[in-house]
Amino acid sequence: MIELDHVTKRYGDAAVVDDVSLTVERGTIMVIVGTSGSGKSTLLRMINRLVAPTKGRILIDGRDTAGLPEHDLRRGIGYAIQGHGLFPHRTVAENIATVPRLLKWEKDRVDERIDALLAAFALEPGLFRDKYPHQLSGGEQQRVGVARALAADPAVLLMDEPFGALDPIIRDKAQEDLLAVQRRLGTTVVLVTHDMDEAFRLGHRVAVMADGRVRQVGTPADLLTRPADAFVSRLTGTNDRALKLLSVRPVGSVVSPGPADGPPLPETASLRDALSALLWSGARALPVADASGRPLGRVTLDAVLASGRVG
Ligand X SMILES: Nc1ncnc2c1ncn2[C@@H]1O[C@H](COP(=O)(O)OP(=O)(O)OP(=O)(O)O)[C@@H](O)[C@H]1O
Contact positions vs other proteins (CB under 8 A): 45, 48, 50, 70-76, 79-90, 98-99, 102, 132, 145, 148-149, 158
- Find all residues with CB under 8 Å of 70, minimum gap 6, and list them: 49
Beta strands across the sheet bearing 156-160: 77-81, 156-160, 188-192, 29-34, 205-210, 213-218
Instruction: Kindly state whether residue 38 participates in binding ligand X, applying the rule CB under 6 A.
Output: yes
Residue 90 contacts which entry, ligand X, Mg ion, other proteins, none (Cβ below 5-8 A, type-dependent): other proteins
Decide whether 64 or 261 has the Cβ nearer to other proteins.
64
Beta strands across the sheet bearing 55-60: 14-24, 2-11, 55-60, 63-64
Decide whether 148 or 249 has the Cβ nearer to other proteins.
148
Residue 37 contacts which entry, other proteins, ligand X, Mg ion, none (Cβ below 5-8 A, type-dependent): ligand X
Residues 77 and 156: beta-carbon distance below 8 Å: yes
* Region of 35-43, 71-79, 118-126, 241-249 interacting with ligand X (CB under 6 A): 35-43
Decide whether 158 or 254 has the Cβ nearer to other proteins.
158
Bridge partner list, 7: 20
Range 227-252 burial, b when 16+ CB lie within 10 A, else e: beeebbbebbeeeebbebbbbbbbbb
Instruction: Kindly state whether residue 41 participates in binding Mg ion, applying the rule CB under 5 A.
Output: yes
Decide whether 136 or 207 has the Cβ nearer to ligand X.
207
Q: Pick from 162, 44, 154: which is nearest to 99 by CA?
A: 154
Q: How many residues bind ligand X (CB under 6 A)?
A: 10
Residues 95 and 118: beta-carbon distance below 8 Å: no
Instruction: Kindly state whether residue 11 participates in binding ligand X, applying the rule CB under 6 A.
Output: yes
Give the residues lining the site for ligand X (CB under 6 A).
11, 16, 34, 36-42
User: Which residues lie near Mg ion (CB under 5 A)?
Assistant: 41
